[in-house]
């Protein structure tokens, strides 16, 4: 038998049929929906169709979830979005993680946390960062509203199989360097469309050494490099994370699952359409300077001069610098920020909060900031560990779980012209609010920026990283 | 969704790279029901000044009749929000021509009758050149995947399955329902061979 990639194995396990034109009809094991899925439900209702598999569909309130004053939602448009999801979930018999549920949180955090996400599954959600779940060795990708309606109605999805790409990161990450930095490093190298049309599998000793949290951060950001799929072969770290989760397999099912998951890796001789190799030792704490995740550099670098760049990228760089209010040729480090944000499906997990707290412990923030954990469960755990006190003692706001300032749909916005050091995933123009200036970085780097009031190489903070 | 094979309209140049879906429609408009129309939200913050007035120098503002958008690489990158496509459609756009598109955007576009026409660098430069003086007539053919502007005849790339879907106005749910026996059989078999793939009963 020919050697197969992890992508081949996952694809084969879900392919119901392949049309002559190459489009595959795939079986969907889990469908995650949120308030933004209202267009999909409306399309289903317009056809009068039932939900094909309510037991495989899970609903989460996250994009519009208020992080404060949940009892009385002030904005009627936000209240309506949440109510619509409640109605749709109730009508179709879908399990809903509602605002006051102890397991509420961001869809890509709740899925893994509840054991909804497992190795070997195909997972869809009407959200591009669905690639997060690939960290478990799942085939997970974001879809649009028409496709959401299709999955609701049929529990299947049409897809053309992407090409296989492998990113190998060997060696050990230097102190202060995280999965976020690996992602920003490869995206800045290849560009935001660098992995377009490809499913990225991450391998190498540096990847194996990552926790599940780190792996999720890395797969989450795959979409920012143009890949719809990011994946990592499951191993003991994966199984240890999954075991005992509420909806994870139990008893003989668990044993059967473990046996199946053991086959989920690329065969030794499997061929990839593209390969990229990085040395972990070369990666530094990275920050973005522009309005695209590819516009990222090590914190030790200087802000580029558009004239020195590839002519194809010079104009975009000049416009980005203008929007960001930055001067070419000056060091990135030392750029004053107005506020900080820690949260999102990229970096709102317990490990992220611990890393930020390690920097903030015993220190005061010079600028205001908001910390919104990825889920209510993470919030509770952080409070049990006393992390919330570290944050509030530093002068930062500790809020409830949701997408919050990652996208600002719930009203948590960065004001026009303000500069925010953010642990999120998109520094697009206006992403955090009209005219907002976003710098992406790891949670520990956000914490360092809070302490000094400017973009800072956390390795230089006196007393180290905690 | 109605199918179409050729489109005659006006092309306008928007020479910006990486116009992501957050720019195509800012998040704050996304709680609007579709029936309200999304056309006014298209590129809202780019088209308007801080006071909300349309910028006279923004390409689209001077050509409300334009139905073909010519832009640069990475169009529609970012979030999966199909509202980005609704905003284009509701503003009268039928085709977008660019060197590359965000994957999810392109698929959303085809699901709504909007053509994401990919062109190579040389073709792109030719079209940009032809539009330097302002908007111009264009004709788009899905049949032979070509663009005509004056004497120019230029090729674009599009997945064959997508070209057929646009022409026939096919709806995937209808198509898929023809495969119901296959789907049911697959689900039964998966349930037998991988029972762990169904959510466990809660304790
Ligand atoms: S946290 Fe941000 S990226 Fe993640 S699901 Fe929410 S809005 Fe999307």
Domain regions of chain A by residue span: 7-274, 287-460
Residue A196: list chain B partners with CB under 8 A.
100, 103
Q: Return the CATH architecture of domain A287-460.
A: 2-Layer Sandwich (3.30)
Task: Tell me whether strands A156-160 and A23-27 are parallel, antiparallel or unpaired.
Answer: antiparallel
- How far is B180 from chain A, CA to nearest CA, in Å? 8
Ligand 1 atom closest to Cα of A348? Answer: 1
Residue B90: list chain A partners with CB under 8 A.
none
| Distance from the alpha carbon of residue A432 to the mean position of ligand 1, in angstroms | 11
Topology match between the domains A7-274 and A287-460: yes
Q: Is residue B183 part of a domain?
A: no
- Are A51 and A40 in contact by the 8 Å Cβ rule? The answer is no
CB burial string A147-184: b at 16+ within 10 A, e below? bbbbbbbbbbbbbebbebbbbbbeeebeebbbbbbbbb
**C-beta neighbour count of B187 within 10 angstroms:** 18
The vertex-A382 CA angle with A377 and A388, nearest 5°, equals 125
CB burial string A114-127: b at 16+ within 10 A, e below? bbbbbbbbbbbbbb
- Are B154 and B126 in contact by the 8 Å Cβ rule? The answer is yes
Which band of pLDDT confidence, cut at 50, 70 and 90, is reported for residue A247?
Answer: very high
Residue to test with chain B: of A133, A144, A437, most B Cβ within 10 A: A144
What percentage of chain A carries pLDDT values higher than 70?
99
Average pLDDT for chain A: 96
Q: Name the token pair of B60.
A: 């689209």
Please tell me the distance from the alpha carbon of residue A441 to that of residue A450, in angstroms, as a whole number: 12
Best of A97, A222, A406 for a ligand 1 pocket test (most atoms within 8 Å of beta carbon): A406
- How far is B171 from chain A, CA to nearest CA, in Å? 9
pLDDT for B51: 87
pLDDT for A144: 96
Please tell me the distance from the alpha carbon of residue A131 to that of residue A141, in angstroms, as a whole number: 5
Q: Is residue B192 part of a domain?
A: no
Residue A415 has pLDDT above 60, yes or no: yes
Ligand 1 atom closest to Cα of A62? Answer: 6
| Distance from the alpha carbon of residue A348 to the mean position of ligand 1, in angstroms | 10
Q: What is the dihedral of CA A297, A300, A303, A307, to 10 degrees?
A: -80
Q: Is residue B48 part of a domain?
A: yes
pLDDT digits (tens, 9 = 90+) for B8-67: 999 999 999 999 999 999 999 988 888 889 999 999 999 999 888 999 999 899 999 999
Residue A49: list chain B partners with CB under 8 A.
173
The vertex-A165 CA angle with A351 and A206, nearest 5°, equals 35
- Are A440 and A424 in contact by the 8 Å Cβ rule? The answer is yes
B203, closest residue in chain A (CA to CA): A246
Cβ within 8 Å, pair A409-B182:
no
CA separation (Å) from B130 to A34, A317, A366, B126, B154? 44, 25, 53, 6, 12
A83, closest residue in chain B (CA to CA): B31
pLDDT for A409: 93
Average pLDDT, stretch B99-116?
Answer: 96
Q: Which residue has the tokens 């697959």?
A: B186
| Distance from the alpha carbon of residue A425 to the mean position of ligand 1, in angstroms | 8
Residue A465 has pLDDT above 60, yes or no: no
Cβ within 8 Å, pair A39-B34:
yes
Average pLDDT, stretch A211-220?
Answer: 98
| Distance from the alpha carbon of residue A190 to the mean position of ligand 1, in angstroms | 23
- Are A434 and A423 in contact by the 8 Å Cβ rule? The answer is no
Residue B192 has pLDDT above 70, yes or no: yes
Average pLDDT for chain B: 94
Q: Is residue B17 part of a domain?
A: yes
Cβ within 8 Å, pair B197-A126:
no
Task: Tell me whether strands B136-141 and B6-14 are parallel, antiparallel or unpaired.
Answer: antiparallel
Residue B1 has pLDDT above 80, yes or no: no
Residue A216 has pLDDT above 60, yes or no: yes
Among A21, A121, A149, select the one facing B173 at the smallest CB separation: A149
- Are A131 and A143 in contact by the 8 Å Cβ rule? The answer is no
Residue A226: list chain B partners with CB under 8 A.
77, 102-103
CATH value at residue B99: 3.20.19.10
Average pLDDT, stretch A350-355?
Answer: 98
| Distance from the alpha carbon of residue A371 to the mean position of ligand 1, in angstroms | 15
* Residue ranges around ligand 1 (CB below 6 Å): A 62-63, 106-108, 127, 129, 344-345, 403, 406-407, 425
- B82 vs A: CB within 8 A: yes
CB burial string A334-353: b at 16+ within 10 A, e below? ebebbbbbbbbbbbbbbbbb
pLDDT for B203: 57
pLDDT for B114: 98
Please tell me the distance from the alpha carbon of residue B104 to that of residue A111, in angstroms, as a whole number: 21
pLDDT digits (tens, 9 = 90+) for A72-121: 898 999 999 999 999 999 999 999 999 999 999 999 999 999 999 999 99
pLDDT for A464: 55
pLDDT for A446: 98
The vertex-A128 CA angle with A127 and A133, nearest 5°, equals 90
pLDDT for A107: 98
Q: Is residue B94 part of a domain?
A: yes
Please tell me the distance from the alpha carbon of residue A181 to that of residue A291, in angstroms, as a whole number: 17
Write phi, then psi, for A18 (nearest 5 degrees). -125, 125
Residue A150: list chain B partners with CB under 8 A.
172-173, 176
pLDDT for A135: 98
- Which ranges of A227-332 would DSSP assign to H, the alpha helix? 236-242, 251-261, 311-324
**C-beta neighbour count of B153 within 10 angstroms:** 12
Residue A153 has pLDDT above 90, yes or no: yes
Among B74, B107, B197, select the one facing A144 at the smallest CB separation: B107
Best of A400, A425, A431 for a ligand 1 pocket test (most atoms within 8 Å of beta carbon): A425
Q: Which residue has the tokens 């230097």?
A: A174
pLDDT digits (tens, 9 = 90+) for A8-56: 999 999 999 999 999 999 999 999 999 999 999 999 999 999 999 999 9
Residues whose CB is less than 8 angstroms from the CB of residue A237 and which lie 6 or more positions away in sequence, other chains included: A208, A210, A211, A212, A215
Nearest one of B102, B93, B105, B76 to B135, comparing CA atoms: B93
What percentage of chain B carries pLDDT values higher than 90?
88
Residue A116: list chain B partners with CB under 8 A.
199
Number of structural domains (chain B) is 1
pLDDT for A311: 87
What percentage of chain B carries pLDDT values higher than 70?
99
CATH 3.30.499.10 fits A7-274, yes or no: yes
């Amino acid at each position: 038998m020919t050697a197969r990639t992890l992508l081949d194995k996952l694809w084969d396990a879900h392919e119901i049929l392949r049309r002559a034109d190459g489009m595959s009809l795939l079986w969907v094991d889990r469908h995650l929906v949120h308030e933004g899925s209202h267009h999909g439900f409306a399309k289903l209702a317009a056809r009068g169709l039932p939900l094909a598999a309510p037991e495989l569909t899970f609903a989460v309130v996250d994009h519009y979830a208020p992080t404060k004053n949940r009892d009385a939602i002030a904005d009627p448009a936000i209240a309506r979005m949440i109510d619509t999801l409640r109605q749709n979930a109730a009508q179709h018999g879908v399990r809903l993680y509602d605002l006051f549920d102890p397991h509420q949180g961001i869809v890509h955090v709740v899925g893994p946390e509840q054991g909804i996400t497992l190795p070997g599954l195909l997972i869809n959600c009407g959200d591009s960062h669905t690639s997060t779940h690939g960290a478990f060795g799942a085939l997970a990708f974001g879809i649009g509203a028409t496709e959401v309606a299709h999955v609701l109605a049929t529990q299947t999805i049409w897809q053309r199989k992407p090409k296989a790409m492998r990113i190998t990161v060997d060696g050990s990450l230097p102190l202060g360097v995280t999965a976020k930095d690996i992602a920003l490093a490869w995206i800045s190298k290849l560009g935001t469309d660098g992995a377009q049309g490809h499913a990225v599998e991450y391998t190498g000793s540096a990847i194996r050494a990552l926790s599940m949290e780190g792996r999720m951060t890395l797969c989450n950001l795959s979409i920012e490099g143009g890949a719809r799929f990011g994946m990592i072969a499951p191993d003991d770290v994966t199984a240890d994370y999954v075991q005992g989760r509420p909806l994870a397999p139990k008893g003989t099912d668990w044993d059967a699952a473990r046996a199946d998951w053991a086959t989920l890796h690329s065969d030794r001789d499997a061929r990839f359409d593209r390969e990229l190799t990085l040395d972990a030792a070369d990666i530094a704490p990275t920050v973005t300077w522009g309005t695209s995740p590819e516009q990222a550099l090590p914190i030790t670098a200087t802000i580029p001069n558009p004239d020195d760049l590839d002519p194809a990228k010079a104009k975009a760089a000049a416009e980005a610098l203008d929007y960001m209010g930055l001067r070419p040729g000056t060091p990135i480090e030392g750029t004053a920020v107005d506020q900080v944000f820690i949260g999102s499906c990229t970096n709102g997990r317990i490990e992220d909060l611990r890393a930020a707290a390690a920097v903030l412990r015993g220190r005061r923030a010079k600028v205001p900031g908001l910390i919104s954990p990825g889920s209510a469960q993470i919030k509770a755990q952080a409070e049990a560990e006393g992390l919330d006190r570290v944050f509030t003692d530093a002068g930062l706001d500790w809020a409830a779980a949701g997408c919050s300032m990652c996208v600002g749909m719930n009203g948590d916005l960065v004001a026009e012209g303000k500069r925010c050091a953010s642990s999120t995933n998109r520094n697009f123009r206006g992403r955090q609010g009209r005219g907002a200036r976003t710098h992406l970085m790891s949670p520990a780097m956000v914490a360092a920026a809070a302490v000094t009031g400017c973009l800072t190489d956390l390795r230089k903070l006196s007393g180290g990283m905690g | 969704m109605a199918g179409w094979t050729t489109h005659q309209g006006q092309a306008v140049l928007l020479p910006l790279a990486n116009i992501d879906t957050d720019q195509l429609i800012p998040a704050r408009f996304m709680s609007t029901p579709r029936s309200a129309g999304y056309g006014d939200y298209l590129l809202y913050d780019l088209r308007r000044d801080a006071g909300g007035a349309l910028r006279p120098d923004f390409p689209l503002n001077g050509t409300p009749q334009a139905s073909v958008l010519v832009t640069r690489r990475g169009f529609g990158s970012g979030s999966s929000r199909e509202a980005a496509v609704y905003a284009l459609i509701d503003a009268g756009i039928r085709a977008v021509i660019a060197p590359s598109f965000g994957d999810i955007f392109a698929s959303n576009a085809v699901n709504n009758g909007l053509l994401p026409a990919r062109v190579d660098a040389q073709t792109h430069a030719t079209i940009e050149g032809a539009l330097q003086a302002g908007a111009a007539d264009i004709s788009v053919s899905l049949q032979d995947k070509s663009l005509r502007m004056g004497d120019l005849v230029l090729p674009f790339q599009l997945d064959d399955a997508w070209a057929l879907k646009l022409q026939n106005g096919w709806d995937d749910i209808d198509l898929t329902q023809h495969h119901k026996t296959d789907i049911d059989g697959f689900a039964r078999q998966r349930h037998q061979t991988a029972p762990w793939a169904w959510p466990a009963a809660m304790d």
